Chains A and B, each alone.
Chain A
Amino acid sequence: MNLKSSKRYVAVVAVLCLLCVGMSGCASISSGGYEFKSGITPPTAVSDLMQNRTVILFITQNNCPACEQTRPLIAGLQSQYNGTNVTFVNFNIDNNSTSLNVGRAYGVTATPTTVVLRKDGAAAIFPGVFDPSTVKSAIDDARSTY
């Protein structure tokens, strides 16, 4: 490899490294199979809830069987975090425009969608019926940021 091509090689490697560092700021994939995406500004209805509390959003609609199927899973998690700094909030988009705006802010296209929020606003998003142990890991991760 001559000097010119080795310089080019170093430059390419440096650019790739910078890209990797830059991208890691956007999303961090955990070993648990979920990722916290940053860059989403929580709507006021959500940021108001995030005062030293880990917030879990449960976004639903009426007449949505998958929402009904997921409700007991949410209730199960809720009981595990009873008396802690974890808040579960149901936003039913059929009820008001605030809920619809919350759904849109997190790119929700189908319900149910469950969103776990870290202190910095980064969000782990779980569409559909979820695996409770995965969501629990995400909640524990989010709690550790407070």
Chain B
Amino acid sequence: MDVEEQAKKIKDWAKKYAEKRGIQLNPDEERVDEVAKGLAARQEKFGKRYCPCRIITGDADEDRKIICPCVYHQEELKEFGMCHCKLFSAKEQ
């Protein structure tokens, strides 16, 4: 599977995940595409969907925390309305 195809698959997964969690994808589709591409590139290179805005340390336990959806996203959604990567955003009330 090439990166473009993988990115599309990731975008579909992210949309479903967001719906299930009562959040949404960033309405800025260009940013979503960019993150999906970054996730796909990392999936291709490292075998895991590591967040493209976080640094891979090489420590498996630490790096597990930054596999999308990362352990920080819920806190960031609460605090900033968006995750650091800008893939997910909180639903407008």
Q: Residues on A close to B: CB < 8 A?
A: 61-69, 93, 100, 103-104, 108-111, 128
Which residues of chain B have C-beta atoms less than 8 A from A63's C-beta? 34-35, 37-39, 41, 52
Q: Please tell me if B86 contacts chain A, counting CB pairs below 8 Å.
A: yes
Q: From residue A23, how far is it (CB to closest CB) to chain B in Å?
A: 28
Chain B interfacial residues counted at CB < 8 A: 14
Whether the Cβ atoms of A62 and B38 lie closer than 8 Å is yes
Whether the Cβ atoms of A66 and B85 lie closer than 8 Å is yes
22 contacts between A and B (CB under 8 A): A61-B52, A61-B55, A62-B41, A63-B34, A63-B37, A63-B38, A63-B39, A64-B85, A65-B35, A65-B53, A65-B85, A66-B53, A66-B84, A68-B34, A100-B55, A103-B55, A108-B55, A109-B55, A110-B54, A111-B53, A111-B54, A128-B84
Task: Provide the bound-state CA to CA distance between A64 and B37, in Å.
Answer: 10
Identify which of A66, A68, A93 gathers the most chain B CB atoms within 10 Å of its CB. A66
Which residues of chain A have C-beta atoms less than 8 A from B35's C-beta? 63, 65
Known A-B contacts A62-B41, A66-B84; A109 and B54 likewise in contact (beta carbons under 8 Å): yes
Q: Please tell me if B31 contacts chain A, counting CB pairs below 8 Å.
A: yes
Which residues of chain B from 68 to 90 have a CB within 8 Å of any chain A CB? 84-86
Whether the Cβ atoms of A64 and B55 lie closer than 8 Å is no
Give the 4 A-B residue pairs with the shortest CB-CB distance, closest first: A63-B38, A65-B31, A63-B52, A65-B86
Task: Provide the bound-state CA to CA distance between A68 and B31, in Å.
Answer: 9
Q: From residue A104, how far is it (CB to closest CB) to chain B in Å?
A: 8
Which residues of chain B have C-beta atoms less than 8 A from A108's C-beta? 55
Residue of A nearest to B45 (CB): A94
